[in-house]
Amino acid sequence: MRNIIKRGLKSYVSGTHSVVLNGLTITEQQRVTTEKFPDNLAVSEIIKQKQFTFADMERDTNNVAANLISLGLNRGDRIGMYAVNHYEWIVTQLAAAKAGLILVCINPAYQPRELTYALNKVGVRAIVSESTYGGRLHFANVLNAAMSEETPLEHVIFLNEEYKNMDWTNKDGVTVNQFSSLLSQADSSFLTEMEQRISIQDADEACNIQFTSGTTGNPKGATLSHHNLLNNSMYTKVSNIGNMDENSNMLLICPMYHSSACAGSTMAMLTCGLELVMPAPHFDPVMALKAMESHNISTLIGVPTMFLDMLTHAKNGSGSFGQQEIRAIMGGAMCPPTLRRELTEHYPNMELFVVFGCTENSPVTFATNLDCPKIVRETTCGYVQPFTEAKIIDTQTGGIVPRGTQGEICTRGYCVFKGYWNDPEKTAETIDESGWYHSGDVGYLTDEGGLIVTGRSKEMIIRGGENIYPAEIENILLQMKEIDDAHVIGVPDERFGEEVAAYIKVNTEISDTEIKDFLKSQLTYFKIPKFYQRIDSFPMTVTGKVQKFKLAERAINDFNL
């Protein structure tokens, strides 16, 4: 049973539940589930026509963990995962936990500058990497260019041998291995060492680092614990969805480096005993729809853009969500009312749940559920999650505002991350002395206790579920000698929710194509602005700050939006 406690008419709510917090580590939870359902399917890769049971996964993660230990990796060392979605991604995540390592989730689209920063920022000693994928993501080449004498990387483990045919150069002091060798039977001494590490592990230990950008433009390593991840997934199940168990399955279409997948999906597999179904290593709406039908999918997690793409293809006859009862969880950005309406009209068998949160909150803090009144389900992000507190504060005074009044959204509870890796100053700016996480998001609570998000005080752009921070793009644009000043904003887009637009002040003529070509070598593709506008001067405040809201106002005409 789930309860929401409201404190008067102030914007404060807290959640409780009859299901108590889980004190297990990820490895302990994996073994509990494997003991219950050893022969149940844990992961199915449709495109590879491969299936793995929980017993298979227990064997593989034991061997990989022990073989990682044999490389000399110690408890607390960081291991990067740089690949698209595979069974091996999940194996590495769970094996890292068994070996006492901290998994570092790396965006597959990272370019050398971004990858170098990530490796150095958190001190990655080993990395599991794709060689290449789809003829467009050249992981080995990017990794080769990212490595330098200052990079702490000591071990590179490739998922296949294609790197041998690429521009790969072995670096002094760096060993290169194949993932297949990690899957081979490990030496008993290293298996014993693994068990010793498991026996002293604590649920509050860090196990996962996910990069989230900040207003300075430099990504920060949000550090999460076993306790963070397992409980957040568990309460998303028991508090909202209700039908996730060993007889259900979940379509895995979000990229594994996202919290929605490596936290939401993988942990749901462990806590519920459900099967994860991978249609393809990357999101493909047609393949996702085919999987929905062929595998009778019961649960689906995605961002609004994914649902929109799948719906568009379904309406064009390229597949269907299926006729079975579906629980669809949408997060990463607000669900447009038109999309919600169309999904409901075309698929009345689909129960749509909206979630709100962030990487630093493991990630879900608010969600709609089956018990929500219709107005809460259709117009808000739902109620606060169990064992989580939330309040809306005045950003000037720090006081809690009345219901219906906008302010900064703050949360507190088991879900709050451990902090930004090796960045105590940024951590202190985000988590106050009382343990409240200050999101930088703006919103308000309704009389019913539902959350409505109205903006982002930190100027973050959300494009198709990807978080983009203008300062990072602005800093790169200013590296071009032709550009004197640059300011980046988000503009409305029907498909992605927002697109990136850049206003630039130039000193010599330069084409949009030349700018894009430069940015492609420095930034992940989704960060590259779609729109460019030359400007002689920027609207400023009396204190000299650029008024980006005025740029947003004129963008409607500048880009024919």
Residue 457 reports pLDDT greater than 70: no
Does residue 137 or residue 241 have the better pLDDT?
Answer: 137
The domains of the chain, with CATH numbers, are 2-21+224-456 (3.40.50.12780), 55-201 (3.40.50.980), 461-558 (3.30.300.30)
DSSP 262: I
CA distance 455 to 358: 14
Residue 542 reports pLDDT greater than 60: no
Q: Helices (H) and strands (E) in the chain — how many of each?
A: 18, 28
CA distance 18 to 315: 42
| 3-state SS assignment for residue 505 | strand
Residue 215 reports pLDDT greater than 60: no
CB contact at 8 A, 174 and 146: no
| pLDDT for the residue numbered 465 | 87
CA distance 415 to 417: 6
Bond preceding residue 279 cis, omega within 30 of 0? no
What pLDDT, in 10s, does the model give residues 131-146?
A: 999 888 899 999 999 9
Please state the separation of Cα 101 from the chain's center in Å: 20
Using CB atoms within 10 Å of the CB of residue 38, give its burial: 0 to 12 exposed, 13 to 18 middle, 19+ buried: middle
What pLDDT, in 10s, does the model give residues 359-374?
A: 999 999 999 988 889 8
For 428: left if phi > 0, alpha if psi spans -120 to 50, otherwise beta; the answer is alpha
DSSP labels for 316-340?
TTS----SS-EEEEE-SSPPPHHHH
- Which residue's entry shows tokens 């947003």? 552
What pLDDT, in 10s, does the model give residues 82-120?
A: 999 999 999 999 999 999 999 999 999 999 999 999 999
| pLDDT for the residue numbered 8 | 59
Residue 214 reports pLDDT greater than 70: no
Mean pLDDT (the chain, rounded): 92
Percent of the chain residues topping a pLDDT of 70:
95
Q: Which residues pair with 383 in a beta bridge?
A: 367
CB contact at 8 A, 233 and 271: yes
For 49: left if phi > 0, alpha if psi spans -120 to 50, otherwise beta; the answer is left
**Looking at this protein, which amino acid is placed at residue 340?**
R
* The total number of residues written for the chain in this structure: 561
What pLDDT, in 10s, does the model give residues 461-519?
A: 889 988 787 878 988 998 999 998 899 999 999 999 999 999 999 999 999 999 999 99
Among 240-249, 454-463, 492-501, top mean pLDDT goes to 492-501
Q: How confident is the model at residue 5 (pLDDT cuts 50, 70, 90)?
A: low
| pLDDT for the residue numbered 236 | 82
DSSP 367: E
CB contact at 8 A, 326 and 304: no
CA distance 356 to 480: 37
Cα–Cα distances in Å, from 402 out to 10, 23, 317, 407, 459? 5, 35, 49, 10, 24
Strand pairing category for 12-17 and 350-357: unpaired
Does residue 4 or residue 65 have the better pLDDT?
Answer: 65
Nearest by Cα to 69 from 161, 170, 192:
192
Q: Which two tokens stand for residue 229?
A: 């991840």
| pLDDT for the residue numbered 332 | 80
Residue 544 reports pLDDT greater than 50: yes
Please state the separation of Cα 559 from the chain's center in Å: 30
Q: Which two tokens stand for residue 25?
A: 């580590």
Q: What is the mean pLDDT of residues 334-348?
A: 85
Using CB atoms within 10 Å of the CB of residue 76, give its burial: 0 to 12 exposed, 13 to 18 middle, 19+ buried: exposed
Helix/strand/coil (H, E, C) string of 198-230? Answer: HHCCCCCCEEEEEEECCCCCCCEEEEEEHHHHH
Task: Please state the φ and ψ torsions of residue 398, each to the nearest 5 degrees.
Answer: 80, 0
| 3-state SS assignment for residue 315 | helix
| pLDDT for the residue numbered 1 | 46
